[in-house]
Structure 1
Amino acid sequence: MAIIDLMAALMGVSMGFLAFLVIGGISGVSAWIFYPGPSHGFRPWKILVAFFLGFTAAAASSFLGQYWGIFQSGQILEWASAIFISCAAGCLFTALAK
């Protein structure tokens, strides 16, 4: 029984990590692609930075929201805050980098 509980706990952590990786990465990269302004050529490292920044912002918003008691893991407010904060971080980085 303890093995099943351990597996359930680990799957929850890994699924949260993967979900925030996908949500944050897509938000960061789409902010870089669709933000208006001249882009000075194709720079893959800037797209990777936008991807990583979006992921970090999504994970941080989830962690801080749970730490401050605003929401619990898996609630829709957690997903909404992760999406909003990762989009805002991607747009801010893109506005400063372009």
Structure 2
Amino acid sequence: MAIIDLMAALMGVSMGFLAFLVIGGVSGLSAWIFYPVASDGVKRGRILMAFLLGSIAAAASSYAGQYWDLFQSGQILEWASAIFAACAVGCVFTALAK
């Protein structure tokens, strides 16, 4: 029984991580693509950095909100804060990079 509980706990953590990787990455990339500033061409390093920063911002906002008891894991406010944080960080990075 302990093995099943351990597997469920680990799958929850890994699925949350994968979800924030995808949500944050897509938000960071969309901020990079749709930010209304003329770019000097597509650079892979900057796009990868926008993806990673969006993912890190999404995970950080989730964990910070849970730490400060603003929401619990899986609530819609957690997802909204993750998407907002990823978009905000993606826009700031894009503004500074372009």
TM-score normalised by structure 1 residue count: 0.98
1:18-97 mapped onto 2 (5 Å cutoff): 18-97=18-97
Cα displacement (A) at 1:8: 0.3
User: Residue 58 of structure 2 aligns to which amino acid in structure 1?
Assistant: A
Unaligned runs of 5+ in 2: none
Extract unaligned runs of 5+ from structure 1.
none
* One-letter amino acid matched to 1:82: A
Q: CA RMSD in A?
A: 0.5
Percent sequence identity over matched residues?
A: 78
Could you list the runs of 4 or more consecutive aligned residues of structure 1 that deviate by over 2 angstroms after TM superposition?
Answer: none
- The separation in 1 between residues aligned to 2:96 and 2:55, in whole angstroms, is 18
**Cα separation, 2, equivalents of 1:42 and 1:77:** 34
Which amino acid in 2 is paired with 1:13? V
Measure, in 2, the Cα distance between the counterparts of 1:75 and 1:37: 34
- Quick one: which amino acid aligns to residue 59 of structure 2? A
Report the TM-score, using the length of structure 2 for normalisation: 0.98
What is aligned with 1:7?
A: 7
Q: How far apart are the structure 1 equivalents of 2:91 and 2:32? A: 7
